[in-house]
Amino acid sequence: MCRPTVGVVGVASPSLSVPPETAIGDATHLLVFASSALAEQRTPRAAEITDTESRVSGISFTDLDLDMQDLSGDVSWLQPTSRDFVSTYVIYLAFDPVGSGRSQLNEVPLDTNLITIPPDTKSGNRQFLLVYAKSVLAEQTTPASFAISDVVAMASNVTFEDFDLDASDIGGNLTWVAAENEAYVQHYVVYLAISCNISNSSEAATLLSGSAALTVEGPLQSSGA
């Protein structure tokens, strides 16, 4: 009979820490044999193995950041039925369901089942959310996964004709083609800007979703010649 050795312990330490990821194969028990200088006893004491599995389910996430490869929104999940040994949950972004190139988003305590991803969180083209259960000993190696749908909504074909004939003033009709996906668009915000630099801009108007035109009534000071 093949009995893979898990460890050898001196008489002064009647315990053994079994390392994480120890494969059990078809084993159902751990056996403890006393051994003398001459021989190992033939009749051991045994402890039945209860292989604990605690994995979350029902991961949910809707991306409310409308920029490509930027994420924002609430991530929620259902806690495992068996969680006696779970201490925290660790949430990652990854390239695949098994955790390649993973990037940690958060770690939250047991009985928490929701985190909020802040606006402008870069996905780095990672397309999966992973939630790992973690005990005081180790983080599980097989997570629960969720495929991300990166929501992108962007206006196009923006045009403007200035009918205000004074220098440094503008007035006229600004038009654009609405975003193809307006499911999560609440409104459009129009800015004056220097060289399309949003950090050097001032808000001109806010429009409801579905609007595709804005009449700029002068005099409105432009941010350049």
pLDDT at 41: 79
Q: Which domains can be identified in the chain, with CATH numbers? A: 57-147 (2.60.40.10), 156-221 (no CATH)
The parts of the chain modelled with pLDDT lower than 50 are: 216-225
pLDDT at 118: 96
**Residue 60: strand pairing partners:** 76
pLDDT at 224: 46
> Which residues, other chains included, contact 96 with Cβ-Cβ below 8 Å and sequence gap of 6+?
127, 128
**Residue 166: strand pairing partners:** none
pLDDT at 3: 72
> Which pTM was predicted?
0.69
Could you tell me the CA-to-CA distances from 157 to 6, 168, 175, 220 in Å, in that order?
68, 24, 8, 22
Per 3-state DSSP, the chain is made up of helix, strand and coil in percentages (nearest 5) of: 0, 45, 55
